[in-house]
Amino acid sequence: MTSDESFSRMQKYLNVEDTLSQEFKTFLSTLPKIKGSFGPYGYLYEGFWYFPMILRGIVAFRRHFHPQSSDIFLITYPKSGTTWLKSLVFTIINRHRFPIEANHPLNTTNAHQLIPFLETHIYHKEENPNLDHLPFPRVFSTHIPWTTLPESIRNSSTCKIVYLCRNPKDIIVSLWHFQNKLMHDETKEMATNSILETFENFCQGVNDYGPFWRHMLDYWKQSKENPDKIYFLKYEDMKEQPSMHLRRLAKFLDCPFSSDEEESGLLEDIMKLCSFENLSNLEINKNGVLSYSGMQSSVFFRQGKTGDWKNHLSDEMVQKLINVICEDKLSGLGFN
C-alpha cells in the first residue's frame, strides 16, 4: 500500500461524521463540543473529551461488551507507551505458546493488531461484534477512563487491569509529534503544527481522553484500593528497572516466571524482543500498515526515551504544567 493509499484509508477511519447514525448524531447534539486541534470537534462525555469516531466506539463497547472472568485490560492515556505494554503483556502471557524465536508473532505483526483497542478497533466497525473466536485469557486495550468503563468491568473481582502511566511532559511531546505525523499537506486542519497549542489544550484537558490528570488519578486511586485488580505501572520505572517490573507484571497476571525461566535469561530476552530498538527496526513496523485503521505502523515509534520534553518545552511551559496542573491537581493525594 502506498503512503497516499494508507492516508486515504486513515482519513476514512478518522472522519466518520458522514457514517454516524441519526441516533448517534442526536446523542452528540446533547453534548458540549469544542473545535478540536485534532479532528473536527471534540465532545465532552462523562467529564472527558473525545473525537466522534472514538466516542461512537465507546458507546457501542459500553452497550454490548460482556467481560469474562479472566479478561485482561491494558489501559493507558494516549502516548504513554501502549505499544510497549501490549508487546510485553502479549509476550509474557503467550510465552509457552509462542517462545521467543525468529517466528514470534511480534516479528511479523504490529502489537496493536495482536492486542486490539476496544473503542477504535473492535467496536469501531461493528456495533456488536462477535468475540467468540478470541483465545483465553482475552486481552484488550483501551484509553477509556475508569469512570466510563462499564460497571461490569469495574465491579468484576476477577478481571485484571494494567494501567501504564507516563510523565505528562513526555506525553505532550509525543502527542504533538504523533499529530504532526498524521497531518497531511492538504488537510492541515487535521492537526496543529504548534507545540504551544498542543500544550495549552493538554493543560486545559481538552484533547482526546483528557483531562490527563483525572484519567491517571482515577486509576491510581483504584489501584491503591484494589491492588490485586489494578496494577499501576510507570513508563519511567519500566525503563529504569525493567526486570523487577517485568517480574511483578507477570506475577500480577498470574503467570509468574519460574526460577528456571529466570536463570535462562528469559526476562532479558523479553525486554530485548519488546525493546524500542528491536520493534522499531522490524520491517512490519517500519513499512507496515494497520489493517483496521490504515495508519502506518511507524507512527507508534519515534524515540522511545524519557526526557525528550527538555528539547521541546520552555521553562515557562514546564513551570505551568508542574505548578498549575500537576501540583494543583495531584497534591494532597500522595502522588509523585
Q: Which residues are catalytic?
A: 143
* Contact residue for ligand PPS among 36, 57, 67, 81 (CB under 6 A): 81
Verify binding: residue 293, ligand PPS, rule CB under 6 A.
no
Verify binding: residue 62, ligand PPS, rule CB under 6 A.
no
* Contact residue for ligand PPS among 64, 303, 320, 329 (CB under 6 A): 303
Rounded Cα–Cα distance for residues 160 and 275 (Å)? 24
C-alpha cell at 296: 502506518
Verify binding: residue 109, ligand PPS, rule CB under 6 A.
no
Verify binding: residue 156, ligand PPS, rule CB under 6 A.
no
Between 73 and 300, name the residue whose CB sits nearer to ligand PPS: 300
Verify binding: residue 279, ligand PPS, rule CB under 6 A.
yes
Taking CB under 6 A as the rule, which mask of x and - marks residues 208-247 in contact with ligand PPS? ----------------------------------------
* Interface stretch with ligand PPS, choices 129-137, 186-194, 213-221, 301-309 (CB under 6 A): 301-309
Between 59 and 88, name the residue whose CB sits nearer to ligand PPS: 88
Rounded least distance, CB 260 to ligand PPS, Å: 26
Verify binding: residue 138, ligand PPS, rule CB under 6 A.
no
Rounded least distance, CB 326 to ligand PPS, Å: 18
* Contact residue for ligand PPS among 24, 27, 98, 276 (CB under 6 A): 276
CA distances from 183 to 94, 127, 161, 178, 191 (A): 36, 28, 33, 9, 6
* Contact residue for ligand PPS among 218, 236, 237, 308 (CB under 6 A): 308
Residues in touch with ligand PPS (CB under 6 A): 76, 78-84, 87, 170, 174, 177, 274-276, 279, 300-304, 308
